[in-house]
Structure formats: structure tokens, C-alpha cells
Amino acid sequence: MKIIGLTGGSGTGKTTALHAMTALGAYPIDCDELYHRLLAEDAALRQALVDRFGGTVANEHGGIDRLALGAIVFGDESARKDLGQVTNSFIVNAIHAEIAKGEAAGAPAVIIDAIGLVESGCAALAHRNIAITAPMEVRHARILQRDAFLTEETAWARLRAQKNDDFFREHCDYVLDNGGTEESKPAFAAQVQALYRDILNEG
């Protein structure tokens, strides 16, 4: 079974790429979804976040207020690093469990879709790593359409806080551009699927 890392900034189209490979039988690990599930289910993670960032990140139901947490970390590089340190071990343990599930299911490949794939160390688990890139203006428009709670400025702040394209080119085996329109999405998905097949056919 192959392990493929999938990364890139917000709004680049990682989800489209993930779905394209899943359609060919890959077992998906969406680390955003995994993180949200852990926030809901893992009291130790929630407590660790409150211990580091204070009670303002907790909501009235005992969960984590993601908007309040985001407001802290997207404006402060040190806080962003601390968030990674707090969450990393929880997420990596969950990823290992999901990889085992994919192998047990007989999937030809597991896809680890993570914006922090490299920083978390999970890129080292993969046989190949793919980065998806797109122009900042395109990404900005996409995340505003996707996340109605974001303002134009908070969307820009989120994008500026993330790694640039050079970082992904340096750390990944393949870089695919997804700067096209909605109409070009099928062509991009086909490009991803062709690369996926090539990786599966490697020795």
C-alpha cells in the first residue's frame, strides 16, 4: 500500500484533489476533519488548548471556539507554532490509526491531506508528497465563498500566515497548479488522477 501526502494552502483545491484520488479507491485522511473530530471527542486536547491559550477559546458547552482560537493564532506566529506543538501529537496518533484502517480495508493507497503535512513530520511517512498551489487572489476568492464567517481582511490574514509556494516546491515531490476556474475543475481532477496512477505504478 502506498502512502501519499497531499498539502498546500487554504483555497488551493486540496479537497478536489483528495476526492479525485478517493474516486480511484484511495483511502482518504482529511486532517481538517480529523482535527475537528478530535476537538469534539478528546477532552485532553481541549484542555491542552485552554491551558495554552486561555479560557477565551472555550465555548459555553465545553468545546473549543474555533473562531476565537483562529483570531489568536492567525495574527501571531509564536501562537501559531504553539498551536502546532499542542495539537501535533494528537493528530499524528490519529493519522497512524487511520493508516492502519486503510491498510485493513485493502486500499491501494492512503492519502494524508494536511495543510501542515511537512511541519508535523507526516510528510516523512509518505512514499510521495503532492502540493497543490494557486494564485493568492484565486485562493482568497475561494475561501470567502467557502467560509461565510470570514471577512475579506481575515481571509487575507489567514492566507498570509501560511507557507508560500516556494516552501511546498522545496519539500514536495510534485507541485500541481490549480489556478483555474470552476469549469476547469474536471481537467484538474483528471491531472491529479493521472499522477496518482503514476505513483501507484512506481516500484
> Could you say which architecture CATH assigns to the domain 2-200?
3-Layer(aba) Sandwich (3.40)
- Alpha-carbon distance of 16 to 9, in angstroms, equals 13
Residues 107-151: tens digit of each pLDDT? 999 999 999 999 889 999 999 999 999 999 999 999 999 988 889
Residues 147-197: tens digit of each pLDDT? 888 899 989 988 998 999 999 999 999 999 999 988 999 999 999 999 999
Helix (H, G, I), strand (E, B) or coil at 68: helix
Count helices and strands in the chain by DSSP H and E runs: 9, 5
Report whether pLDDT(67) > 90: no
- Alpha-carbon distance of 157 to 80, in angstroms, equals 13
Contact 132, 6 (CB under 8 A): yes
